[in-house]
Amino acid sequence: MTNMRLTYALTKCIQQTVLLMPYTRQYSSSIPALPKLTLYTKEECSLCDIAKDTLQPYKHMYIFEEVDITAAGNEEWFEKYKHEIPVFHLNGQFLMKHKVNTKLLLRKLQEIEGYIEDP
């Protein structure tokens, strides 16, 4: 009897989810995704720490991702950026290196989003 109740409850849940899916898609597609800012870094990187502190006032404007260039699987990034970190990419495209250029960052975010203002 318990299995039948569980099956019934799951079936109802799935039916409700399927019924709501068109509304969910319509709503979520109207919300623009935040751009992704990627920091290529490694442990013990004081310039990277300074860069992250500089970015704090703008963190609501993008999704932040850190890539440790010394981690397994990141050999390509290590070879490319071992003497350049910190390096930043915005939506997969090179943006800046060595330090944060907030004017450049804000200009590029503005180009992507069209509505971002300086905090």
Distance CA 75, CA 14 (A): 43
pLDDT at 18: 46
pLDDT at 52: 97
Exposed / middle / buried, residue 26 (Cβ in 10 Å: 0-12, 13-18, 19+): exposed
pLDDT at 33: 86
pLDDT at 24: 39
Instruction: List the domain range (segments joined by +) for residue 1.
Output: 1-31
Distance CA 105, CA 37 (A): 9
Question: How many independent structural domains does the chain possess?
Answer: 2
pLDDT digits (tens, 9 = 90+) for 17-41: 544 444 433 444 556 689 999 999 9
Distance CA 112, CA 88 (A): 16
Q: The whole model's pTM is what?
A: 0.69
Which residue(s) pair with 36 in the sheet? 63
Which residue(s) pair with 65 in the sheet? 38
pLDDT at 20: 45
pLDDT at 112: 87
Is 118 within a domain?
Answer: no
The reply to whether 20 and 65 lie within a common domain is no
CA–CA–CA angle 70, 90, 54 (5° rounding): 75
Given a cut of 70, the residues of the chain with pLDDT beneath it are: 1-32, 114-119
